Amino acid sequence: MNASSPAPTIRREVDNEGVCLLIFDRPDSGANVFDSAALRDLGAQLDFIEQEQPSLKGVIVTSAKKSIFIAGADLQTLLQKAQTGEMRDFIAKGQRIFNRLASLKIPTVAAIHGACAGGGYEITLACDYRIASDAPATRIGLPETTLGLVPAWGGATRLPRVIGPEKATEVILKGKLYSAQDALQLGLVDEVVSQEKLLETAKKKFNSPKRVPSEGRAPASAADGVRRDESARSASQNPAPARAAEIINRSLTSSIDESLARELDAIVELGETESTRNLIRNFFLAERYRKGTTKAPVEKITHAAVIGAGVMGSGIAQWLSSRGVSVILRDISPEVLDRGLANIEKTYGEAVKRGLMSDEKGKEGRSRIVASVNSGPLRDVQIVIEAASEKFEIKQAIFRDLDSKIDDTDILATNTSAISISDLATGTKHPQRVIGLHFFNPASRMKLIEVVIGKETSEETKARALAFARQIGKLPVVVRDSPGFLVNRVLFPYLLDAAELFEQGVDSKKIDGALLEWGMPMGPLRLIDEIGLDITIDIAATLEKSLGSRAHPPAILKRMQEAKMLGRKSGSGFYTYEGKEQTPNGAIDTWRLSRNPAKQWESSDLALRLVYLMVNEAARCLEEKVVAAPEDADYGMILGTGFAPSRGGPLRFADHFGIAEMARAGDRHGGKFVPCELLRRHAENGTKFYERD
């Protein structure tokens, strides 16, 4: 028999031996996803297979894409279905179709090459066997809980039957994508082979018997071992992990149909929540900032220089070198240069140890860095990034010196976190090529770069800088030059008010606990300790000149600095640090104005007071055109500070909470809490930051 039948998203090929290939190949796209059309086409292919089963040897599900097997359900479709109330029908249809694949009487094998995520992995669980290629592009997992969803096409039902409930809980609750070898160790796949041998190995599985899925009714103790601690993580903000754990816990004591019904109920209910919709929106924002909107070709930067080998300078140099850029790392101090190189060596060593890169790739990256104390010309670089001490006079002197030592077409960038780009540019002959590239610490982990546009920065420099940020795997947000730019300006009123509340007698654990419960990854006092008291005070001093009382540091910070209690780096700050443990620092109580606050705060009120300050400052940034759109403010804060992703960012949260209520609260408090004009206008007009939603 020789048959070939094209379909819009799936191509079917049947050879003379009766081997049926279902080849996912979405037209005009580099990715395969499950949307309504793909489910329709899969159903049509199964119609043929069910009818022709007696003449078929088996079915292989595979992909024609270069680096993607199936990337899962189409999130645009999911978001639309959730908003229109059609989610239940869409998910139920997918469950029925996957069940038909699982019920075939002939052997079925998934031949996986490339990204295999979410629904893309769930279709493989409906197959008898799973073979993966050993290519780096092959990444396998179920990331739904990170998007506020649960695997609902059989992932939370079938995976516990394949690898056991404890391992399934780890895979589903963490939401990671695993390499092929890691997937093999976990039992997510049966074999790993080279891409060239993928189909050959898959065909050999037709000699093995079909697997009979466990129908459940196992003793309840089989699921009792599932850990629940992770499912409780931020459950109030992202309930998906808890819902997934519940399904897994009951999966082996239920029939497949009963467990699938729980999956369906869970994903439909989660799809109606604001937190899930925000997490899906965040995914699309990441794609938008990663790709950008400019189609014009921009040169690839292959040679760079970093001036200053401190923590940030060495971190930036390491990241650039790891992304294929040759780097001259320059510092006037041999000792600082040595420490910087040691930091680079440590970062590469940790990356290799964590499996983020091979030892060979680590060596290649190290070899791209040339350290130098030579202050001569830099003729062979395309961009210079200054990362020296956060003092205007020092940076200005460096810029004046560099201006004559690099080619006229080179980009001259600064990593400053608060100093005016425009002021630095005035001391140069080519202010149009000066721009801010504010990396966040640690540069090897933080994805955000604030691309800061000075008064005279040219459009060409802006375009080249944005392309460079994306080239090195960062997500750039464009901000206009103003004190603190976006992230520090919005963050610091929140941090400083938390310190003021502590000074007035509110317990540190109560403050930090309230914000952790609200969804922040770290409390504000812990964050000050991580930043460092000295750096916090320096940035606050810069911001206070323009923001006034909104960025005024309470006296206790200065006292702590004088006592050398600078946070984690000195061993004590608001907390004392021993290894990974931290406890409230009782030694600073003597500097508090009171140990009994005038008001007994509820955690929710405490969180709202502090978050309001971020909302108000983010609205000011939009009002003053520091950022061009509310998405810039929201995603910048999520990336730069970890602002609770499920809240969608400060402005998205304000829309959901109620701008009018926030403005009234700001007026009641007065002073630094008075709402900005844009916030007040939205409150009076009943409008929102996101009117199109």
Q: What is the DSSP string of 524-585?
A: HHHHHHHH-HHHHHHHHHHHHHHHGGGGPPPHHHHHHHHTT--BGGGTBSSEEEETTEEEE-
- The answer to whether 185 and 191 are in contact (CB under 8 A) is no
Residue 220 has pLDDT above 50, yes or no: no
**DSSP code of residue 213:** -
The stretch 402-413 carries a mean pLDDT of 88
- The DSSP symbol for 588 reads G
Q: Is 371 helix (H, G, I), strand (E, B) or coil?
A: strand
Residue 610 per-residue DSSP state: H
Q: Collapsing DSSP states into helix, strand and coil, what is residue 234?
A: coil
Strand partners, 370: 328
Residues 182-194: tens digit of each pLDDT: 999 999 999 999 9
pLDDT at residue 18 greater than cutoff 70 = yes
- Residues in contact with 342: Cβ distance below 8 Å, sequence separation at least 6, in sequence order: none
Q: What is the pLDDT of residue 45?
A: 96
Strand locations in 440-489, DSSP E?
Answer: 448-453, 475-480
Report the pLDDT averaged over residues 93-118. Answer: 97
pLDDT over 70, % of the chain: 95
670-689: pLDDT as tens digits: 999 999 999 999 999 999 99
Please give the single-letter amino acid code of residue 161: R
User: How far apart are alpha carbons 617 and 610 in whole angstroms?
Assistant: 11
Among the residues of 548-602, which ranges form H helices? 555-562
The confidence score (pLDDT) of residue 167 equals 95
* pLDDT (average), residues 54-72: 96
Rounded to an integer, the average pLDDT of 592-610 is: 88
Say which amino acid occupies 690. Y
pLDDT at 229: 42
Enter the tokens of residue 646. 């499920």
Cβ neighbours, 10 Å, residue 428 = 18
Short-list 623, 618, 606, CA closest to 665: 606
Mean pLDDT of 86-99: 97
- Annotated active-site positions, please? 438
Using the predicted structure, report yes or no on whether residue 224 has a pLDDT greater than 50.
no
CB 658 within 8 A of CB 666: no
Q: For all residues of the chain together, what is the average pLDDT?
A: 92
Contacts of 58 (CB under 8 A, 6+ apart): 18, 19, 20, 106, 107, 108, 109, 203, 205, 206
If pLDDT is split at 50, 70 and 90, which confidence band does 603 have? very high
User: pLDDT confidence of 374, banded at 50, 70, 90?
Assistant: confident
The predicted pLDDT at position 408 comes to 80
pLDDT band at residue 236 under the 50/70/90 scheme: low
In the 8-state DSSP scheme, what is residue 570?
G
Write down all domains in the chain, each with its CATH number in brackets: 3-272 (3.90.226.10), 303-481 (3.40.50.720), 488-685 (1.10.1040.50)
CA distances from 121 to 46, 108, 399, 407, 415 (A): 18, 14, 52, 51, 41
Tokens of 476: 């750039």
Give me the mean pLDDT over the 480-501 stretch.
96
Q: Is the pLDDT of residue 223 over 50?
A: no
Task: Provide the angle, in degrees to the nearest 10, between the axes of the packed helices 555-562 and 487-503.
Answer: 90
pLDDT 10s digits, 532-567: 999 999 999 989 999 999 999 999 999 999 999 999
421-440: pLDDT as tens digits: 999 999 899 999 999 999 99
Task: Using pLDDT thresholds of 50, 70 and 90, give the confidence band for residue 226.
Answer: very low
155, pLDDT greater than 80? yes
Backbone angles phi, psi at 401, to 5 degrees: -65, -45
Looking at the predicted structure, is the pLDDT value of residue 275 above 60? Answer: yes
The number of angstroms, rounded, from the C-alpha of 388 to the middle of its chain's C-alpha atoms is 28
